[in-house]
Copies of this chain bind each other. A is one copy, B any other.
Amino acid sequence: MRVEAEEGKQQAPDVAPRWPRRPSSVLAGSREGLAAVSAALTGAVGSALAIARWPTGPLRAGAPADVLAAAKAALGGDGIPEEGMGSEAALARLGRVLVEHGLHLSHAHAVAHLQPPPLAVAVAADALASASNASLDTYDSGPSAIAVERWLIAGLIELAGLGSSADGVLTPGGSLSNLMGLLLARDAAALRRGIDARKEGVSALPGPVVFCSELAHFSVHRACAALGLGEGAVRPVPTDSRRRMSPDALAAMLRELGPEHTPLAIIATAGTTDFGSVDPLPQIAAIAAEHGVWLHVDAAYGFGTLFSERLAPRLAGIELADSITLDLHKLGWQPAAASVLLVSDAKAFTALERQVAYLNPEDDSEAGYDGLLGRSLQTTRRPDAVKVAATLLAHGRRGLGDMVDTCHDLARHAEARIKAEPELELVAPAELTTVVFRYRTGEDPAREDEINGQLRRRLMETGVALIGRTAVRLDGPGSPERVCLKFTLLNPTTTPEELDALVNAVLAAGRACSPRYQKGAA
């Protein structure tokens, strides 16, 4: 409707505008602003280097509550301040908080999670991307960002060995890539049952079922809950002694599925979080094809092995997937997030397509003014592809492959060292870049569990090391889960000597937590 006479108060300006003049350098994207970002960062880094008290280990020593309270205090008072302190002071404060109370992932003894120290080139490129504030949803929200993402997706499709119909999109993380892959699988399966899930929802879909190994990432369960299927839809498939999904068990479960069920997807894992184990992709793909079920490969961790000539064969069969999750903020050394969902057929994205009057009207689309809105659950979407493209151009496939190989070799080194230590028990060998082990005291297993947990917390609380932990059924299926420790080796500048020192620190912490040694000392 046209604008009508409305309350005068609404139409008249409340206050006469003052039109303050602001320097254009306040904005990041202008010529002056880009220079200002560069200068501001240099200043903030200078402060961080000069003023901040860097921890000697990978994190600040102290109990978590104390560290968090100190970080909060360093931010200043509660609440949003009424008046600003200026950019320089604010950046110095934030830089100091991050340095003094944060993690130092580039420290050789930060080996807890699939959270790599990011490459300098990636971080610098990401700052350029932030300054542009381009978005991927429409042509007129960022043409260059669209070109960079399409370039990257094409390169990753080639690396994965997918065919010419393949497509892909960047997402905010592996959990959301898995969610999206499952959403596409869900809607495709519904459509084969004559249900338009996008319009009608899933209530008419008979007994939806998702298969994954019992070691699949918990984000699969979370995605099922979010997508309205419920975690009850997940059917965990047993694994073999090398922690890979059993194709025979999967085939039997599919055969036994009655018509009251709808198999939506098989989710194979290429690189389990704890063990790096890779499900047997060719066999699983054959089963998926036989039953006409969508195959999603969660290669969040493992995909980066494709950069390495030595390790790439472990992912053979990934090219048979209908969709793939990959995280270059894991084996790819990107700051989070740089996650990608690849699909073997671009038509899979139909479930996500939308025509929106203010974004992609038909006549604009026909004239080529189109973006990537129809490949995502997001509208505004940060150009994460820029940092990845910079990294691939800077280091090349070979450079990244060498880093993958180094981290794998570090894991093998840790594995050998652990095997040689009587107090340590190797629980899982180094498939990719993790190694899982347990500190043994000879006490009853529950007590050993406690000590393993304490040992790890002690390393954190003293600021000496940051190692991972997990739970493993040490005595096979059905046996109780036991607390184990884990190294996740993602720092390609770490030396074997530094790794030996880490094992020594673990041993020292174990002894400090173990009554046996304390008695001996007393």
Contact = CB atoms under 8 A, between A and B. Distances in A.
A468 interface: yes
A140 B229 contact: no
A166 interface: no
Given A37-B120, A94-B148, A115 B101 contact: no
A143 B67 contact: yes
Given A44-B124, A106-B29, A128-B91, A133 B336 contact: yes
A147 B97 contact: yes
A310 B17 CA distance: 12
A4 interface: yes
Given A80-B392, A377-B222, A474-B2, A386 B31 contact: no
Nearest to A129: B98
A228 interface: yes
A285 to B, nearest CB: 22
Q: How large is the interface on A (under 10, 10 to 19, 20 to 34, 35 or more residues)?
A: 35 or more
Nearest to A479: B1
Per assembly, the copies of the chain total 2
A346 interface: no
A281 interface: no
B4 A241 contact: yes
Contacts of A399: 83-84
A94 B230 contact: no
Interface in A18-68: 18-31, 33-38, 40-42, 44-45, 48-49, 54, 59-60, 63-65, 67-68
B203 A120 contact: no
Contacts of A147: 68, 71-72, 75, 97, 101
With a 10 A CB-CB cut-off, give which of A65, A386, A396, A426 has the most chain B CB atoms: A396
Contacts of A22: 492-493
Interface string A342-362: 000000000110101110010
Interface stretch (A7-15, A252-260, A501-509, A514-522): A7-15
A176 B344 CA distance: 25
A123 B127 contact: yes
With a 10 A CB-CB cut-off, give which of A24, A84, A369 has the most chain B CB atoms: A84
A145 interface: yes
Nearest to A60: B143
A201 B233 contact: yes
Contact of A225 (B17, B24, B197): B197
Nearest to A425: B2
Given A11-B429, A40-B121, A79-B154, 12 more contacts: A35-B49, A37-B45, A37-B120, A41-B41, A67-B143, A78-B151, A81-B392, A85-B393, A175-B377, A273-B358, A357-B471, A358-B468
A444 interface: no
Nearest to A62: B143
Nearest to A145: B102
Contacts of A13: 409, 412
Nearest to A231: B199
A142 B483 CA distance: 22
Interface in A105-139: 105-107, 112-135, 138-139
Contacts of A34: 45, 48-49
Contacts of A466: 140
6 contacts: A30-B106, A30-B107, A41-B41, A173-B380, A357-B470, A364-B457
A202 B203 contact: yes
Nearest to A218: B356
B84 A398 contact: yes
Contacts of A100: 144
A159 B80 CA distance: 8
A247 interface: no
A380 B217 CA distance: 13
Interface string A427-443: 11100000000000000
B1 A369 contact: no
Interface in A185-209: 186, 197-205, 208
A491 B19 CA distance: 12
Contacts of A15: 310, 405
A32 to B, nearest CB: 9
A456 to B, nearest CB: 8
A263 interface: no
A375 interface: no
A476 interface: yes
A227 interface: yes
A164 interface: no
